[in-house]
Amino acid sequence: MAYQGRQPDQLNLLLLSGDQGWISAVRAAAAQLGVGSLAIAASPADAVRLLAEAGRPYSHLLLHPHSAGDLLPALIGLTAGDVGSGVTLVVLGPPEVLPEPLTPMHIRVVRGTEDGWLRKVLLPSEPSAANAGPLSEADLREALAASRIQARYQPIVRFSDQVPVGIEVLARLDHPTRGTLSPDLFIPAIERAGLARRLTEVIVQRAFDDWPGSALTALDFFIAVNVPLDVLLMPGTLDMFETRCEHAGIPASRILIELTESLPVTDIPALRAAIEGFRARGYGLALDDVAPDLRDYEALMGLSFTAVKLDKDLVRESPDSTMAQAFLEDAILAARAADLTIIAEGVEESEIWDRMKSLGVDQAQGYLVARPLPLGAVRPWRESWLRSRGL
């Protein structure tokens, strides 16, 4: 019998528990059920690494909360704390120990090991409630006003030596009933409502509070921030960045502003002036989502960018698409001729890693490196990444 479209052998479980009784119970039940795989994390940091790098996507994290220590919030953020994570959190024991309220749609709770307990929790016969309908403008304004915008951080590593060099800030919206929503579920609506400037201000403040200059310097990271075209052109945007950087002690050289083209470019001279204003203060600027359908591509490439980011869908398609391969080769040659740093998004498989490296791409971002991480998971991920590569 299939449950919610999946069979037991399609499930990959990750267990974190220091209780031998729970470990034995999970092992026995998983073997009886015939799950695809069961991995047992050696430590909370090991669990963070396994979930973050996502080389083998896990369907469930079975968590004994007392075993997670200080990394419990990070593990929640990698699973139940993010609707788009694809990993279901299963709490072994009473959920009262969890540090934040989570609705039933975000977690499943196991209080005992009665017959068939693992099947019931992994493969419920009734589907969970789906998130219904778009968010209203009132919902969006309330979220922006009530500090419900949170940040996730996706690492960026250098191809040449695999050293982590930066993190991109990605917005999430904490909804009281729907959970933590990924950008595609609210950012288009925010832009349509004319709230993109406010979102930019909120996420910049959040990120700079999380990563003051001393933290970025200690890890030798840059921090990449998405800024829509219309927001970049607004009066006061540069001053906003200057004020936030000064308050957080972050030098402009550690900021990479990623220009996202939510609207077509209608005034190249105005955009050139805005970019040159940021460049004069020391900020880096990246042209985001470079792909064949990027509007005004040639005109944009003539501006004073310091980096380009190759579109993730294009990068993913490159092993099987001659069109994608041809465009990438031309775009990389043009970027190299302009002395731009080249960052490939969507690096999710070893084959893609090898191909991007062979083409001369400088930096990689994607699930092969790490998923977007909650703040508390970044340092454990970095330490594990460096250790696993002998760095």
Side-chain half-sphere of 269: how many Cα atoms within 13 Å? 0
Residue 45: what are its φ and ψ, rounded to 5°? -65, -35
Per-residue pLDDT tens over the stretch 5-44: 578 888 999 999 998 988 999 999 999 999 999 999 989 9
Per-residue pLDDT tens over the stretch 268-309: 899 999 999 999 999 999 999 898 887 777 778 889 999 999
Percent of the chain exceeding pLDDT 90 equals 54
Query: Could you give the angle at the alpha carbon of 276 between the alpha carbons of 337 and 361, nearest 5°?
Result: 30
Q: What is the mean pLDDT of the chain?
A: 87
Task: Specify the pLDDT at position 254.
Answer: 97
Q: How confident is the model at residue 216 (pLDDT cuts 50, 70, 90)?
A: very high
Task: Specify the pLDDT at position 49.
Answer: 86
AA identity, residue 159: F
Task: Specify the pLDDT at position 81.
Answer: 63
Q: What mean pLDDT is predicted for residues 369-390?
A: 90
Kindly report which listed range (97-111, 151-165, 179-193, 212-226) carries the lowest average pLDDT score: 97-111
Q: Radius of gyration over alpha carbons of the chain, in Å?
A: 22
The whole-angstrom separation of Cα 197 and Cα 195 is 6
Sort residue 291 into left (φ over 0), alpha (ψ -120 to 50) or beta: beta
Q: Which among 18, 20, 11 is positioned nearest to 38, based on CA atoms? A: 11
Task: Specify the pLDDT at position 261.
Answer: 72
Assigned token pair, 138:
């009132």
Long-range pairs for 105-109 at CB < 8 Å and ≥24 separation?
105/129, 105/179, 106/80, 106/81, 106/179, 107/80
Residue 347: what are its φ and ψ, rounded to 5°? -80, 100
Q: How confident is the model at residue 219 (pLDDT cuts 50, 70, 90)?
A: very high
Contact call for residues 83 and 102 (beta carbons, < 8 A): no
Per-residue pLDDT tens over the stretch 143-166: 888 788 989 999 999 999 999 999
Q: Domains of the chain (ranges plus CATH)? A: 8-122 (3.40.50.2300), 137-388 (3.20.20.450)
Q: Which residues are paired to 110 by β-bridges?
A: 92
Q: What mean pLDDT is predicted for residues 129-139?
A: 70
Q: Which residues are paired to 171 by β-bridges?
A: 151
Q: Which among 104, 118, 10 is positioned nearest to 58, based on CA atoms? A: 10
- Sequence-ordered list of residues with C-beta below 8 angstroms from that of 311, at least 6 positions apart, any chain: 289, 290, 291, 294, 345, 346
Task: Specify the pLDDT at position 129.
Answer: 47
The sign of the CA dihedral 90, 94, 99, 101 is positive
Task: Specify the pLDDT at position 54.
Answer: 62
